[in-house]
């Protein structure tokens, strides 16, 4: 419900500001998210089968430069039991997580784009910026869903934060279909400033680091921490990979409309 409220608020904001300026653009986005990290180390193009969606507002400064504010809602996941690598398959770790992102980006068009203020109807482009996002890694274990941050599966003293910043960067292509209507395809990565999107970062903890006064809770923490098929994980051996942080990605298509009014209202 919170993500729907954010998107609805943004869309109303887009419509309001678009009526105030000559070169504002609004759009709706659909696509899919993916993940690169401790449980998916090598497949840099893998996307989730779940739909990601969102909206954006953009200020086209000229035919080459744009500034965009966007929101996205999607889901990422990974499952080592499906890996072809025997060691990864044995580790048997998995997770899924919703992702809600708000992003401020700068776009650079290779060609002078747009019939409203440019010369070219089609252009490739690059983008980068800053994003803030929320995540919450979960797992379905023995027919029950667990929010992994609550079980501190690597023996952490406290729960890690489920909000973080990221650096988005990528490329795409824009096509001006009509005077006001555009279709935009993009693919980009988000380099996150956290290593816990997947609940995996460091080493398998010692039993003492998972022990609490509640025996049932302790047993559950141990089971969620070491899900290897043959319970082969040894304390203080590597549970994650050696990269400092995780990455998630987005690939999708945006349909946008550029507003041009003869009047430019002042505030």
Query: Average pLDDT of each block of 10 consecutive residues along the chain (267 residues)?
Result: 53 51 84 95 85 95 92 96 87 96 96 77 96 98 95 94 97 92 96 97 93 94 91 84 91 91 42
Q: Give the domain range for residue 55.
A: 2-136+159-195+244-259
Query: In this structure, is residue 116 part of a structural domain?
Result: yes
Q: Quick check: helix, strand or coil at residue 216? A: helix
How far apart CA 100 and CA 9 sit, in angstroms, is 14
Looking at residue 116, what DSSP letter applies? T
Question: Contact at 8 Å (CB) between 35 and 249?
Answer: yes
Q: What DSSP string runs through 137-152? A: -EEEETTEEEEGGGG-
Give me the CATH number covering residue 118: 2.40.160.20
What pLDDT, on the 0 to 100 scale, is given for residue 21?
45
The model's pTM: 0.85
Count of C-beta atoms within a 10 Å radius of residue 153: 27
Cα(90)–Cα(237) distance, integer angstroms: 14
Q: Tokens in use for 249?
A: 């990605």
Q: Residue 190 in contact with residue 249, Cβ under 8 Å? A: yes
**Is residue 143 domain-resident?**
no
Residue 221 to residues 28, 75, 115, 149, 207: CA-CA distances in angstroms?
A: 41, 24, 59, 11, 10
How many separate domains does the chain show? 1
Question: Cα dihedral angle (28, 173, 68, 265), rounded to 10 degrees?
Answer: -80
**Is residue 202 in a domain?**
no
Tokens standing for 232?
Answer: 């082969």
Q: What is the pLDDT of residue 119?
A: 79
Q: What pLDDT sits at residue 22? A: 52
Tokens of 78: 């990974």
Q: What is the pLDDT of residue 8?
A: 57
The answer to whether 161 touches 197, Cβ cutoff 8 Å, is: no
Q: Rounded CA gap, 183 and 196, in Å?
A: 34
Calpha distance 114→97 (Å, rounded): 37
Q: How much is the pLDDT for 11?
A: 54
Instruction: Tell me if 181 is assigned to some domain.
Output: yes
> Residue 201 domain-assigned?
no
């Amino acid at each position: 419900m919170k993500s729907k409220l954010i998107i609805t608020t943004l869309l109303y904001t887009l419509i309001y500001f678009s009526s105030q300026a000559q070169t504002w653009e609004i759009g709706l986005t659909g696509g899919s998210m993916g993940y690169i990290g401790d449980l998916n180390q090598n497949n840099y193009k893998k996307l989730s089968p779940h739909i990601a969606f969102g909206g954006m507002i953009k200020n086209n400064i000229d035919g080459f430069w744009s500034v965009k504010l966007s929101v996205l809602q999607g889901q990422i996941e990974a499952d080592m039991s499906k890996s072809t690598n025997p060691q990864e398959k044995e580790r048997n770790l998995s997770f899924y997580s919703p992702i809600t992102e708000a992003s401020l980006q700068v776009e650079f068009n290779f060609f002078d784009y747009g019939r409203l203020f440019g010369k070219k109807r089609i252009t490739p482009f690059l983008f980068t910026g800053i994003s803030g996002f929320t995540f919450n890694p979960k797992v379905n274990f023995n027919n029950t869903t667990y929010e992994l941050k609550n079980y501190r599966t690597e023996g952490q003293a406290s729960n890690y934060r489920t909000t973080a910043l990221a650096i988005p960067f990528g490329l795409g292509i824009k096509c001006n279909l009509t005077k006001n209507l555009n279709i935009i395809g993009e693919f980009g990565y988000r380099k996150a400033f956290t290593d816990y999107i997947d609940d995996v970062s460091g080493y398998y903890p010692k039993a003492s680091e998972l022990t609490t006064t509640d025996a049932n809770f302790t047993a559950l923490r141990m089971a969620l921490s070491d899900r290897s098929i043959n319970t082969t994980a040894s304390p203080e051996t590597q549970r994650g990979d050696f990269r400092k942080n995780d990455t998630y990605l987005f690939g999708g298509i945006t349909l946008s409309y550029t507003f041009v009014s003869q009047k430019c209202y002042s505030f």
